[in-house]
Amino acid sequence: MFKQHRLPFIGGLKDVLAHTAFWISIVNFSLIGVTAYNTTLRAYLIEYTPWLKIWMFLGVLVVIVGVMMFLEYKFIMPSYYSFRERQYTNDSDIRKLLVEILKKLDEGVKNEDRNNSTS
């Protein structure tokens, strides 16, 4: 019942889809922006900014995404990595647990090597 089945094409498909999700989200964001412009925002934008064309609207979206990317790169990513680094300091419980697991694994390998050399 709990036996695993190896179906390499499903894993490959999932891997390719995961890598293309980034590009799909860009297309999706663009299409949502165009749809929002043409349906919901158009009447409001024509009333208050009649000079704003769709290419300008998409340009504004690109600028907003660029600012978000800059803020992510400049502030959030360094904070994320410093947090992760603090999780793995010498006094960290995670590090102690990993060191303990590695010692047990190393002892198991050494015991297996001894058993294989005596046979």
Residues 16-36: tens digit of each pLDDT:
999 999 999 999 999 999 999
- Residues of the chain where predicted confidence (pLDDT) is lower than 70: 90, 117-119
What does the pLDDT read at residue 6?
A: 79
pTM recorded for the entire structure: 0.57
| Neighbouring residues of 3: CB distance < 8 A, sequence distance ≥ 6 | none
Amino acid at 86: R
Tokens of 103: 């010692």
For residue 58, give the nearest of 70, 46, 66, 68 by alpha carbon: 66
